[in-house]
Chain A
């Protein structure tokens, strides 16, 4: 009886390194699989920090209110929703109506800014995008994509929710929905 027990223990001891190695490799494999795409899973490096300034040309329909260029440092002081989009980006078409509805609801308290980026030489397409969704919040053109690099963008669309003090509360990658917008804007207003 005791011989059986000791034989069992020695077998377990022998198998232990094999089990440990297989478990570690499986964990590593699953980690790699579940990591997903960087734009979805990696939080912004600006969380809790001041978002970078930008100075970009404004689309014509907003010039009366904002002038020819919009400089972030000049409009800081209230919560902001900064949305990066491109005219070639399918999910951007999906989220645009949600952004406009959120602006209609919260626009008095929260500043919305749309930034067309990673879309070189596509101002006409940008204008068409704005008209198609009748976007009434200011939209600007990041022709050389430098603002997207300054914000550490992985792709479009991405939406940044910024506190009144200019620090980043949350970044959402992918088409933003009204639920996400309401939740995050609610947190910004608190």
Chain B
């Protein structure tokens, strides 16, 4: 019974040691990377992830891409050169901020166009309302007399209530 318990304890201790080593080694690997790697990585989309950048993702391919960024920085490559390296292989898709050309222009220009249209529409509406408020209403004199008479006769009743 005691021997069995001792075996279990040893097995658990060994498992804990292996886990600690694995976590420690992964963390050490990440720590060795220059902070610039993560900065540049955040400008690249992870190819196998959904809405994650290379800088943030824990996917194996993103980790390998971070190592590749580090190697290029070590060789003296600039941020633009690193981005161009991945852009050459994946196209504009890989960039978190796509360049302003082709269909990508829509992404940049559509919000600006929407704001401009909204400003023009609001300005025109305000002007129309102001003009409408300032323009005297063309009323038939007989209708006006009738309204005045109605107001005179009904006003007293309303005030008494």
Contact = CB atoms under 8 A, between A and B. Distances in A.
Nearest to B61: A145
B88 A155 contact: no
Main secondary structure of the interface of B (DSSP, over half): helix
B105 interface: no
> Could you say which interface size class chain A belongs to?
20 to 34
Contacts of B91: 42, 45, 152
B90 A118 contact: no
A149 B60 CA distance: 12
A42 B98 CA distance: 14
B104 to A, nearest CB: 12
Given A38-B47, A118-B48, A145-B60, A151 B89 contact: yes
B110 interface: yes
B38 interface: no
A145 B47 contact: no
A173 to B, nearest CB: 11
Nearest to A153: B47
A187 interface: no
Interface residues of B, number: 20
Contact of B93 (A38, A46, A151): A38
A106 interface: no
Main secondary structure of the interface of A (DSSP, over half): loop
Contact of A155 (B48, B90, B120): B48
B137 interface: no
Nearest to B121: A17
Nearest to B89: A152
Given A24-B114, A28-B110, A150 B93 contact: no
A146 B64 contact: yes
A24 B91 CA distance: 27
B77 to A, nearest CB: 15
Nearest to B107: A28
Nearest to B110: A28
A21 B64 CA distance: 44
18 contacts: A17-B120, A17-B121, A38-B93, A45-B89, A45-B90, A46-B89, A118-B48, A118-B61, A145-B64, A146-B68, A149-B86, A149-B89, A151-B89, A152-B47, A152-B89, A152-B90, A152-B94, A154-B48
